[in-house]
Amino acid sequence: MVRRGRLVKCKPKFNPFTKSLMMNSAGFPDFISIKHVHDGLYRVIGVEAKMNGILSKEEKEKCAWYLQKGIFSLIWIAKGVRKGRKIEIVYDDFQERYGVKYNKE
């Protein structure tokens, strides 16, 4: 967790009654994207999906820790914006939105 300052693998959760898998990955962030920049250089981007686009205090601390340790080069916050009948996904960069407060090194 964030307080310990180390990365912990998330454990799968099983339903003991049905002996089935309930949740395989309950980790943070929700999605991981790998973007090719140029020869042998890649950018690893974490994407956290939120309906309203607002992160909790613990999620902000996790994002800042991931960026400081160099685990992710960018973290995007995805939120849905309704345009008529369609929902458009908008991505906000964590460093642009919360960078001043959470840029401690």
Mean pLDDT of successive 10-residue stretches along the chain, which has 105 residues: 66 74 69 89 91 88 88 92 92 87 63
Question: What's the pLDDT at 1?
Answer: 44
> Which tokens hold the place of 97?
């939105």
pLDDT value for 103: 66
The confidence score (pLDDT) of residue 56 equals 87
Q: Distance between CA atoms of 75 and 57, rounded to whole angstroms? A: 15
Task: Count Cβ atoms below 10 Å from residue 46 Cβ, excluding itself.
Answer: 22
Domain edges within the chain: 27-98
Work out the angle at residue 5's Cα, subtended by the Cα atoms of residues 105 and 40, and round it to the nearest 5 degrees.
70
Condensed to tens digits (0 to 9), the pLDDT of residues 55-72 reads: 888 888 888 888 888 889
Indicate the pairing of strand 41-49 with strand 13-15: unpaired
pLDDT at residue 53, rounded to an integer: 87
Distances (CA, A) of 44 to 4, 34, 51, 71: 23, 5, 23, 8
